[in-house]
Amino acid sequence: MPHILIVEDETIIRSALRRLLERNQYQVSEAGSVQEAQERYTITSFDLIVSDLRLPGAPGTELIRLGQGIPVLIMTSYASLRSAVDSMKMGAVDYIAKPFDHDEMLQAVARILRDRQPRTAPAAKPGNDKPGAEAANGEIGIIGSCAPMQDLYSKIRKVAPTDSNVLIQGESGTGKELVARALHNLSRRAKAPMISVNCAAIPETLIESELFGHEKGAFTGASAGRAGLVEAADGGTLFLDEIGELPLEAQARLLRVLQEGEIRRVGSVQSQKVDVRLIAATHRDLKSLAKVGQFREDLYYRLHVIALKLPALRERGADVNEIAQAFLLRQSARIGRNDLRFAPDAEHAIRHYAWPGNVRELENAVERSVILSESAEIPAEMLGIDFEPDDLDDDFIGLPPQSGSTSASHEPTEDLSLEDYFQHFVLEHQDHMTETELARKLGVSRKCLWERRQRLGIPRRKSGATSES
């Protein structure tokens, strides 16, 4: 069980964070200052330190030195976000702005501990020698071995060492930030900070000053000059998530960064040079947005030097089960169990559900199932997904006709196609079965039964046997 040290002088925040982490199966110790942490604990004995930046006495960044390689996650108020960025330059593994929600904190903690695991990870199990397995635990850090992902890994290895701008495209929840981190970690900038910015999360009125900084008096409330996040990423990587949400004015400033390698703070007349590699991500079609004037065309072509397309989870075949197993192991470890496994119906549902929320939805479903399951074998219903067998077209499963119903029941069905079998079963049984009974026997919903009737041209009999009021 990972052991985490919380260093926070506000008792309410410290206690709430301790309860949150303990509920998620972490061992937690706490202190109100760096000095107290030194007096009470051996700092290097922890797996992770979560510390406020501003503390009585020494700042939280002092724990980076005292930890001697132990990852330190810095907490900071939104107003001092740039100070947290500076702490990353000093060696903090990441920062999180207060107030944060529980999921945000848990995801950050899980990611940091996962990234630290390779140092002490056990040897791979026999047979786990697929290229995808290497990618899952090696330099790329992404699970999956399907052909589209193998192609993506190859492109990441080729692109990462360069300073070319990269545009990552894919649906929400597919793991675009993981790709960005892989590009950064495999680049010559790996020891410099990677600054991640969600363009959709910052108010439009603040986005320019957040990205490019501002001078004192540049606008109401600007009581002091501040560096922007682009400036904070100098020497490293700037990751702009959901760049399609960036206002046009900010797009013009960003284009100057890419063309000239310089920024000008809001309210300033002077420019300064920056050395930043830009990685952008979006789930939107930027080319279409550019055609209708919602995205600068010149910026689009600047970003589109290298485009990486992330496939949706439903397009990754058996990868979905491999990813689900990885999530199951992680969540099982959190609650101290090693006997949990997916029941066959759960594996089937995981493989064939469309996963509109992609990997993020899958992770949440697995976490839910681990928490709620009362037995070692997790059934499909514990996943909490709206899955029915009618979601399948190519893997249609029906029950064989019951013997003794009609003479046609004894005809062999092994050589029938799935659609032929469906038609054969419905025509044979619809005279003495209701639509609900037919659907239940076929393992589909009534809606799916109706849709298949329409597609195959099988009319519904107008008889008393099939009427349902």
**Rounded distance, CA 279 to CA 165, Å?**
6
Q: Are 442 and 384 in contact (CB under 8 A)?
A: no
Alpha-carbon distances, residue 162 vs 157, 158, 255, 259, 360 (angstroms): 10, 8, 19, 17, 29
- When the pLDDT of each residue in the chain is averaged and rounded to a whole number, the result is 79
Q: Strands 194-198 and 237-241: what pairing?
A: parallel
Q: Is residue 433 part of a domain?
A: yes
Q: Is residue 249 part of a domain?
A: yes
Give all strands of the β-sheet with 194-198 in edge-to-edge order. 194-198, 237-241, 277-282, 166-169, 306-309
Both 168 and 61 in one domain: the answer is no
Q: Is residue 414 part of a domain?
A: yes
Both 170 and 280 in one domain: the answer is yes
Q: For residue 167, what is the domain's CATH number?
A: 3.40.50.300
Q: Is residue 129 part of a domain?
A: no
Look up the pTM and report it: 0.59
Residue matched to tokens 């928490």: 371
Q: Is residue 131 part of a domain?
A: no
Q: What count of other Cβ atoms lies within 10 Å of the Cβ of residue 399? A: 10
433 or 72, greater pLDDT: 72
Q: For residue 79, what is the domain's CATH number?
A: 3.40.50.2300
Q: What count of other Cβ atoms lies within 10 Å of the Cβ of residue 52? A: 21
What pLDDT, on the 0 to 100 scale, is given for residue 412? 40
Both 47 and 173 in one domain: the answer is no
Both 157 and 264 in one domain: the answer is yes
Both 185 and 238 in one domain: the answer is yes
187: confidence class by pLDDT, cuts 50, 70, 90: very high
Residues 71-126 pLDDT 10s = 999 887 654 556 666 677 677 887 777 766 677 788 888 888 877 664 333 333 33
Phi-psi map region of 384: left, alpha, beta (phi>0 left; psi -120 to 50 alpha): left
Both 204 and 106 in one domain: the answer is no
Both 181 and 289 in one domain: the answer is yes
What pLDDT, on the 0 to 100 scale, is given for residue 238? 93
- Of 358, 387, 416, the position where a domain reaches its end is 387
Q: What are the DSSP calls for 208-225, one per residue? A: HHHHH-B-TTSSTT--S-
Both 282 and 195 in one domain: the answer is yes
Residues 244-270 pLDDT 10s = 999 998 899 899 899 888 888 887 778
Both 400 and 331 in one domain: the answer is no
- Among 160-174, 193-207, 372-386, 415-429, top mean pLDDT goes to 160-174
Residue 104 lies in domain:
3-118
The DSSP code for 226 is: B
What pLDDT, on the 0 to 100 scale, is given for residue 118? 43
Both 214 and 341 in one domain: the answer is no
Q: Is residue 280 part of a domain?
A: yes
- Of 311, 339, 367, the position where a domain reaches its end is 311
The answer to whether residue 229 scores a pLDDT higher than 80 is yes
Both 370 and 422 in one domain: the answer is no
- Of 311, 338, 357, the position where a domain reaches its end is 311
Both 162 and 100 in one domain: the answer is no
Closest CA to 353 of 380, 373, 329: 380
The answer to whether residue 324 scores a pLDDT higher than 80 is yes
What pLDDT, on the 0 to 100 scale, is given for residue 320? 92
What pLDDT, on the 0 to 100 scale, is given for residue 398? 38
Number of domains making up the chain: 4
Q: Is residue 142 part of a domain?
A: no
Q: Is residue 135 part of a domain?
A: no
* Mutual angle of helices 147-159 and 176-185, in 10-degree steps: 40
